[in-house]
Amino acid sequence: MARSGMVKPLRKSVVFVTFESEFAPLGGLSAVMRMLPKRMARIGKGECMTIAPFFREITKCKPDWFEAIHPTGYTFDLAFGEEFHTVEVFRHCDRNGFQTILLDSPQFFNAPCDCGDPPHPLTPCNPYLNPGHPGQLLQDALFFCAAVPRALVALGITKNLVLNLQDWETACLALTIKEEPTLVSAACVLTVHNPYDKPLPDKELQKISRQHLPGPTVLSKMIPLLDGPICTVSQNFARELVKEPLHTVVYVPHLQSSFRHKGVRGINNGLFAKLNFPKKARDDASQGDFGRLLREKSKRREGMITVLREYNPPQAWGSLDFSHFEGPVFLMFGRDDPRQKGYDLAAAAIARIPEGKAKFIFTPIPGEEGLEGLRFLRTLAERKAGAVKIFPFRMERGYMELQKGASFMVMCSLYEPFGGATEGYAVGTPILARATGGLVQQVVPYPSSCLNRTVRTLFDQFHDGALGPTGILFREAELPPAQGAAGWRTIVHCRYWPDGDRLADRIGTPLFEAMVQEATKAFMDAIELYVHNPADYARMIYNGFGMLDRFSWDQTVREYQALYTSL
């Protein structure tokens, strides 16, 4: 058995173990894995690499990358339950020499992808979703965790190891790494990007180990085996995991004792996008002259409108009429997760906005409920013809133009571990968001009517007032603990699926209604600001550029390195 925790402070090998990678991307995890390991490799001491499953069908959609992945010459047979499977080890080396190791086995990691634009719902290019085999995710995750130690041995990476595991899909490595006798010193750290866990019956665990571990789920079994605190991607989300009823009562009540014992540490992500706005406009704005900045933003708006006029795939819903319209355009993006993203919250608020006030664009990547789960957005687009456009698929063409040209990016998240507010700032687009998770740290709120006591209390924990407003934050008033917990249970466990409608089922819940009320107020505040106070709107764009300086991957690397050294 490998001796855990025996990691020397220098010349260690850091291995980021991830189910989702830039070769099979979907959401925020792949964005982090695209940035953090490579930055650590550049400025850290010792080796750093990434290891992930080889989702061939998804990676084929990037032919240049697919062709740059080469076999290492290492293969091995791996027992999984009562059967043996052959694993082949592949390697990708980028132009800076950073290595990604990819593990392939014929019976695993076969999530389908047709590379379509958009992909067919039955081939969604999603590493977590195989519509033809809905139970495959747990099997893929367990098999991957069993294969990683053998792959490291084959590659000769056996000493002074720190394995930074990402989410529950890789957590079982905390067990399998300790059962590989050739690994003489290894420590495991877990970073959670969401509060999600997975039931793990003993009969499933026994496919990869003879150990009998207490607990009903992957994380309840594996957290006690970790060699350090649980990490997550923002300071505020770390606080929420052990303080807010959504997590303590609904998502992870079974992990609260483990969180208290191990500790939860928030290490903020860095930037996911580079600053993309003309320097001259920024320089003028720093002197209080916003003319050039507003002209650039107007130019980007025209580019967005051009894309929307020219790109009309049959899979899109709704329409936008920009004739004689000068008001704001709101953009909401990201993977549809009914337990997190808040598309239904945004839709309920938008339904209450008077006609002609604004335009709304949604680019949801369908999640586990597929297109049917987004039927409430299609209904919204039908009811607000000319004002709402939905692209219900991973949008490749024109997406950057939408980000640049939108007046506000919208994040109505029920929770948000880190969030993509800085992506908006990088292209000159302010944020409208619910005050939760990392968004509290990324958005300095404009003093509008939705800036209530709850928002101020959250905001004051992370901001000193040195930077002016960068967006609009809203949050429903704090409820008594029992009432708040009951509200979250109703929202998360509503029984609409598969025959009902998410929005229709949640409307009427007091907590959800309170969210909708504040979100509606936030939209109206944003419209008022954009139409009647262009100077403050421009100043908000400029302030967003300053927020980019507060999130650095170098700082993220330093905090992780300090953690690794302390193990």
Query: Taking residues 179-208, what's their average pLDDT?
Result: 95
CATH label of the domain that carries residue 33? 3.40.50.2000
Say whether both 81 and 201 belong to one domain.
Answer: yes
Say whether both 239 and 358 belong to one domain.
Answer: no
Which two structure tokens, joined as six digits, stand for 92? 């990708």
Predicted pLDDT at 11: 64
- C-alpha count within 13 angstroms, C-beta hemisphere, residue 13: 19
471-474 vs 99-104, strand pairing mode: unpaired
Say whether both 211 and 319 belong to one domain.
Answer: no
Kindly give the residue spans of alpha helices, DSSP state H, lying in 170-323.
173-176, 202-205, 218-222, 235-243, 245, 256-262, 279-286, 291-310
Question: Rounded to whole angstroms, how far apart are CA atoms 549 and 423?
Answer: 13
Predicted pLDDT at 115: 87
Question: Is residue 282 situated within a structural domain?
Answer: no
Question: Rounded to whole angstroms, how far apart are CA atoms 167 and 179?
Answer: 20
Predicted pLDDT at 5: 42
Tokens 């850290």 found at: 44
118 — pLDDT class (breaks 50, 70, 90) = confident
20 — pLDDT class (breaks 50, 70, 90) = very high
DSSP string, 263-295: -EEE-----SS---S-HHHHHHHHTT--HHHHH
Q: What are phi and psi of 386, to 5 degrees?
A: 90, -10
Predicted pLDDT at 415: 97
Query: 167: phi > 0 → left, psi -120 to 50 → alpha, else beta; which?
Result: left
Q: How far is CA 175 from CA 139, 142, 213, in A?
A: 16, 11, 10
Query: Taking residues 217-239, what's their average pLDDT?
Result: 97
Say whether both 80 and 168 belong to one domain.
Answer: yes
Say whether both 512 and 558 belong to one domain.
Answer: no
Question: Rounded to whole angstroms, how far apart are CA atoms 350 and 379?
Answer: 12
Which two structure tokens, joined as six digits, stand for 220? 């309840």
Domain that holds residue 26: 13-270+554-566
2 — pLDDT class (breaks 50, 70, 90) = very low
pLDDT at 494 over 90: no
Say whether both 232 and 378 belong to one domain.
Answer: no
Q: What are phi and psi of 538, to 5 degrees?
A: -65, -40
Predicted pLDDT at 150: 97
Say whether both 410 and 376 belong to one domain.
Answer: yes
478 — pLDDT class (breaks 50, 70, 90) = confident
The sheet carrying 471-474 orders its strands as: 317-320, 387-390, 359-365, 329-335, 408-411, 431-434, 471-474
pTM reported for the whole predicted model: 0.93
186-192 vs 230-232, strand pairing mode: parallel
Query: Taking residues 114-129, what's their average pLDDT?
Result: 84
- 392-440, pLDDT tens digit by residue? 988 888 999 999 999 999 999 999 999 999 999 999 999 999 999 999 9
Say whether both 310 and 264 belong to one domain.
Answer: no
Question: Is residue 289 situated within a structural domain?
Answer: no
pLDDT at 250 over 60: yes
Alpha-carbon torsion 249, 252, 254, 260, what sign?
negative
Alpha-carbon torsion 41, 25, 247, 411, what sign?
positive
Question: Is residue 209 situated within a structural domain?
Answer: yes
pLDDT at 525 over 60: yes
pLDDT at 208 over 90: yes
45 — pLDDT class (breaks 50, 70, 90) = low
Say whether both 529 and 560 belong to one domain.
Answer: no
Question: Is residue 65 situated within a structural domain?
Answer: yes
Q: Give how far the C-alpha of residue 258 lies from the chain's centroid of Cα atoms, to the nearest Å.
A: 24
Helix axes 291-310, 279-286, angle to 10 degrees: 140
> Considering only CA atoms, which of 526, 523, 497 is closest in space to residue 351?
523
Say whether both 234 and 369 belong to one domain.
Answer: no
Predicted pLDDT at 3: 41
Question: Is residue 358 situated within a structural domain?
Answer: yes
Query: Taking residues 62-85, what's their average pLDDT?
Result: 96
Say whether both 519 and 463 belong to one domain.
Answer: yes
Question: Is residue 279 situated within a structural domain?
Answer: no
Say whether both 182 and 315 belong to one domain.
Answer: no
Query: Taking residues 37-56, what's their average pLDDT?
Result: 91
Number of domains into which the chain is organized: 2
pLDDT at 4 over 80: no
Percentage of the chain lying above the pLDDT 90 cut:
84
How many C-beta atoms lie closer than 10 Å to residue 198's C-beta? 18
3-state DSSP call for residue 434? strand
DSSP string, 77-143: EEEETTEEEEEEEEEEE-TT--EEEEEE-TTS----B---SSPPTTSB--TT--TT-TTHHHHHHHH
Query: Taking residues 112-133, what's their average pLDDT?
Result: 86
Question: Is residue 408 situated within a structural domain?
Answer: yes
Question: Is residue 94 situated within a structural domain?
Answer: yes
Share the mean pLDDT of the chain: 93
Predicted pLDDT at 22: 94
pLDDT at 102 over 90: yes
